[in-house]
Structure 1
Amino acid sequence: MIKLIECPRDAMQGIPGFIDTAIKAAYINQLLEVGFDTIDFGSFVSPKAIPQMRDTAEVLDLLDFHDSKSKLLAIVANLRGAEEALSFPEIDFLGFPLSVSETFQQRNTHASIMEALKTVETIQNLCEVKGKKQVVYLSMGFGNPYGDPYSPELVAEFVEKLAQLQIETISLSDTIGIATPDLITQLFEVQIQAFPQIEFGAHLHSRRESIAEKVLAGLRAGCKRFDGALNGLGGCPMAKDDLVGNMATEVMIETLESEGYSLGLNKSELVEAMKLTHFVFNS
């Protein structure tokens, strides 16, 4: 079964103008109607670092789940954020950004990789107590622009450490959009075979014209979990100045359906969500 993770949080977080809380909530409520497996809806991080996400708790209070099957994921960058996220019963997953690049780990969470791994372990213990799941994003998982060490073998070392911590979901993240189809296939194939107990996801950033080949590369390797954002909006504001957008969800849907996958989405609600993106991100 294919899992699509829709990421309005990633789409919104780098936009300089503050999006009104009610507008954010209305957009996420529409996404909840579509039938995505999970909505990456917000983050509990420093408002100084990511001011766009300072109202995540208020947005959550305005969400109306109806009969939505979608689960909620919130990003956290430290123990304080994790504890806040864990106080909300509506949140199913806590996402933590662990970087293969030391430079990016410092830029993104103001902590070393070693410190971040300790935080992952603490959050994992808290999640087990609270009945939640942690999703670890391996940022810069396909290379970095800083000259920090990188290799597929290094990625495997990180996955091994996370496996020892009983992490069940790891999303390999191409934070700056440099992954090639060959590297995507290689990384996922090796990790999926080596760690069958772990669900591996693809959080890739890409130019629109390269999305289909990247999805197909992941599929070839056995990846069944893909993150995206409608219209390919967003990118990581901590990575570098010029953002490479998220994988456009609508292109991923077209690619996956052309391969024969039935995604179980409400297409009429998807059309409405696509219309809303133009209002939300230009308001």
Structure 2
Amino acid sequence: MIKLIECPRDAMQGIPHFIDTAIKAAYINQLLEVGFDTIDFGSFVSPKAIPQMRDTEEVLSLLDLHHSKSKLLAIVANRRGSEDACLFPEIDYLGFPLSVSETFQQRNTNKSIAEAFELVEEIQNLCEVKGKTLVTYLSMGFGNPYGDPYSPEMIAEFVEKLKELGIKIISLSDTIGVATPELITELFQVQTNSFPELEFGAHLHSTIDTISEKVAAAIKGGCNRFDGALKGFGGCPMAKNELVGNMATEVMIDTLEKSGYELGLNKRELNEAMKLTNFVFLES
């Protein structure tokens, strides 16, 4: 079964102007009608670090979850944010960005990789007590621009450590959009064959013309969980290419359906969400 995770949080957090709370909530409510497995809707991080997400709690209070099968995911970066997120029964998943690049881990969370692993263990223990599930993102999972060490073997070492901590969902993240289809297939094949009990996701960044081949490569490697954002909004500023954004969800859907996958989405509601996208990100 293919799981699609729609990521308005990732799409919104880099927008320079603040998107009104009511507009955020209306957009996410529309996404909740589509039938995505999960909505990555907000983050419990310092407003100084991510000012666009400073209203996550208020947005959550405005969401209509009664008729949606979608689960909610919130990103956290420290113990306090994790504790705050766990106060809300509506939230199913906490997501933590763990980097295989020492430089990026310091830039992203102001911690070393060793310190980040200690924090992952704390958050995982908290999730077990509070009935949440931790999703760990391995950022710079396909290479980094800093000259830090990288290899597919390193990824397997990180996965082994996370498995020992009880983590069950790991998303391999191509933070800067450098992954080739060959590397995508190889990396997922190694992980899915070595750790069949774990769930592996793909959080890839891409130009529009390479999305389909990257989805196909991940499927070939055994991945069945995909993060995306409608029309490809969002991405990493370190990509140094304004065309490299999140995987456009509508392109992924088209690719998967042409490959014979039944995704169970409400296309009418999806079309309504597509209509809202430009207004939310470009005109609001």
TM-score by structure 1 length? 0.98
The answer to whether the 8 Å contact 2:177/2:239 transfers is: no
Deviation at 1:194, TM superposition (A): 0.4
Name the aligned partner's letter for residue 33 of structure 1.
Answer: E
1:165 aligns with 2:155: no
Give the equivalent residue in structure 2 for 1:33: 33
Name the aligned partner's letter for residue 195 of structure 1.
Answer: F
Map 1:19-58 onto structure 2 (within 5 A). Answer: 19-58=19-58
- Tell me the percent identity: 78
* SS, match of residue 166 in structure 2: coil
Give the equivalent residue in structure 1 for 2:213: 213
* SS, match of residue 206 in structure 2: coil
* SS, match of residue 146 in structure 2: coil
**Which runs of no fewer than 5 residues in structure 2 stay unpaired?**
none
The answer to whether the 8 Å contact 1:27/1:276 transfers is: yes
Q: Deviations over 1:166-223 (max 9, x none)?
A: 1000000000000000000000000001001100000000000000000000001110
Q: Distance in 1 between matches of 2:40 and 2:136?
A: 13
Moved over 2 A (4+): 239-244
Q: Deviations over 1:67-98 (max 9, x none)?
A: 10000000001111101100111000000000
Give the equivalent residue in structure 1 for 2:121: 121
TM-score by structure 2 length? 0.98
Name the aligned partner's letter for residue 36 of structure 1.
Answer: F
Give the equivalent residue in structure 2 for 1:226: 226
Deviation at 1:28, TM superposition (A): 0.2
Q: Distance in 1 between matches of 2:153 and 2:190?
A: 10
**Which runs of no fewer than 5 residues in structure 1 stay unpaired?**
none
The answer to whether the 8 Å contact 1:10/1:236 transfers is: no
Q: Distance in 1 between matches of 2:113 and 2:80?
A: 18
* SS, match of residue 136 in structure 2: strand
Give the equivalent residue in structure 1 for 2:97: 97
Q: Distance in 1 between matches of 2:180 and 2:241?
A: 19
Give the equivalent residue in structure 2 for 1:7: 7
* SS, match of residue 202 in structure 1: strand
Q: Distance in 1 between matches of 2:232 and 2:66?
A: 27
Deviation at 1:49, TM superposition (A): 0.9
